[in-house]
Structure 1
Amino acid sequence: MVSVGIIESDEQMRATIRTLLLNQRSQEFNILFELERANNLLHQKALSPQLILVELKGYSTRVIKQIRIQFPKTNIIILSEIANIATVLEALRAGAVSYLLKSTCLNNIAPALIATHKGGSVISPFISREMVERIHDAKRREDLLSARELQIANGLADGLSYKLVADRYNLAVDTVRVYIKRIYRKLNINSKGELIAQLKY
């Protein structure tokens, strides 16, 4: 039997998830708690769920960190409407192991919980595809840019100024500017912000 906690603000969604889990034939679930908000977790300290399905609202992953502190051995599965890759990656870095979109068929929730319990990670297909495209974009950048251009681009993405990039690679600042113009042209971008956005994830 797999013990589960549910944190979801919508009462009807909580009821639907409960029904889906309790009617699951391939795996028996024991629902330890159903909460509307994560701050109600403080009253659940005596419990130790193996999985927590938690709604991620807004762009803060503070709730994940809170759960990790209180239940360090619990696997966290996110259920969210947010498909933004930066938020997904931040949630995974904060300690979530699976990420499901609410637009995913609800019948996929129980199999995702089972897979996570067995040591897997489940990411909604739309997000997985976006991640694959990011990897392809990174490969394309590597193919387009020379080794030196990649060094300079990564230096800028790390927050270094032109002067610090120049110092790091023993170049003149004007030479760095020439490289940056080439990088922008090759990547079809016009600003440092666009460059950072491309390299960040």
Structure 2
Amino acid sequence: MNAIIADDHSFIRMALKQIIQKEFSATVHEAEEGKQVLNILRSHDINLIVLDISMPGRNGIEVMKDINNMYPDIPVLILSGYSEDQYAMRALKAGASGYLTKDTAPQNLVEAINTIRNGDQYITPKLAQKLVKEFKGGFDNKPLHESLSDREYEVFCLIGFGLTISEIAEKQLLSPKTVSTYRARILKKMNIKNNAEIMKYVIENGLLDK
């Protein structure tokens, strides 16, 4: 098996690499950001991708969409520091085969990889309940933040965590002007007046957990 581990933290890549090599006798390629993932895909026959969401430049959801468009048969497991409530639904809609948080036990990671390699989706019981609730509730009861684009939602969460425009721009490799434009769209779409209201919304809707 040829696998890609994409995460901007070297110690996480090292830990994941050890697990995947031990359990699957895999050749593991490492990437720190989305462009590297796509470059590896162009030059190697890849069977599995373990992808983080928060990476420099384009986030994992955006990269996931590219992978799904160009290499739809490659299973992708999102392994993120963000809780399921924050990003799992978006990841699955973008084409991910499964979603786990980084505090998961190694045996759950192995189980998830086995599941998606067999062509199935890996969904935790908590996420399954969320999917059922969304199906039963239809589209009218969706929370306001689900109307945001993936990039808007990322900026929205970072504002909710207390980051400034400049800090978000540096973290996401964007200009402050671009971040301010996203912020303006967020305020308009959600009928929110300021950052304090964003922070309040994030807390009240359980989006603060990482």
TM-score range, shorter chain: 0.5 to 0.7
User: What's the CA shift string for 1:139-184, capped at 9, x where partnerless?
Assistant: 9xxxxxxxxxx9xx68xx9x9xxxxxxxxxxxxxxxxxxxxxxxxx
Report if aligned partners of 2:75, 2:119 keep a CA contact under 8 Å in 1: no
Aligned to 2:44: 47
Runs of 4+, deviation exceeding 6 Å: none
Taking a change above 3 Å as real, the CA distance of residues 81 and 47 of structure 1, as seen in their structure-2 partners, is same
Aligned to 1:64: 64
Shift of 1:87: 2.9
> In structure 1, how many angstroms separate the alpha carbons of the residues matched to 2:129 and 2:72?
30
3-state secondary structure, aligned to 1:6: strand
Shift of 1:82: 2.2
Amino acid corresponding to residue 3 of structure 2 in structure 1: V
Taking structure 1 as the reference length, the TM-score comes to 0.58
Aligned to 1:128: 128
Find the partner of 2:31 among 32, 35, 38: 35
3-state secondary structure, aligned to 1:87: helix
Taking structure 2 as the reference length, the TM-score comes to 0.56
User: What's the CA shift string for 1:91-144, capped at 9, x where partnerless?
Assistant: 1121111111112213321221111101221123433343344456x29xxxxx
Aligned to 2:198: none
Amino acid corresponding to residue 37 of structure 1 in structure 2: E
Taking a change above 3 Å as real, the CA distance of residues 11 and 69 of structure 1, as seen in their structure-2 partners, is same
Q: What are the residue-to-residue correspondences of 1:91-110 with 2, within 5 Å?
A: 91-110=91-110
Paired residues, number = 141
Aligned to 1:184: none
Report if aligned partners of 2:84, 2:101 keep a CA contact under 8 Å in 1: no
3-state secondary structure, aligned to 2:64: helix
Shift of 1:18: 1.1
3-state secondary structure, aligned to 2:99: strand
Taking a change above 3 Å as real, the CA distance of residues 66 and 126 of structure 1, as seen in their structure-2 partners, is same
Q: What are the residue-to-residue correspondences of 1:4-43 with 2, within 5 Å?
A: 4-24=3-23, 28-43=24-39
Shift of 1:60: 6.4
Taking a change above 3 Å as real, the CA distance of residues 134 and 103 of structure 1, as seen in their structure-2 partners, is farther
User: What's the CA shift string for 1:28-55, capped at 9, x where partnerless?
Assistant: 3423411111211243211121110100
Task: Give the unaligned 5+ runs of structure 1.
Answer: 140-149, 160-192, 194-201
Choose between structure 1 and 2: higher strand proportion.
1
> In structure 1, how many angstroms separate the alpha carbons of the residues matched to 2:66 and 2:16?
23
Task: Give the unaligned 5+ runs of structure 2.
Answer: 148-189, 191-210
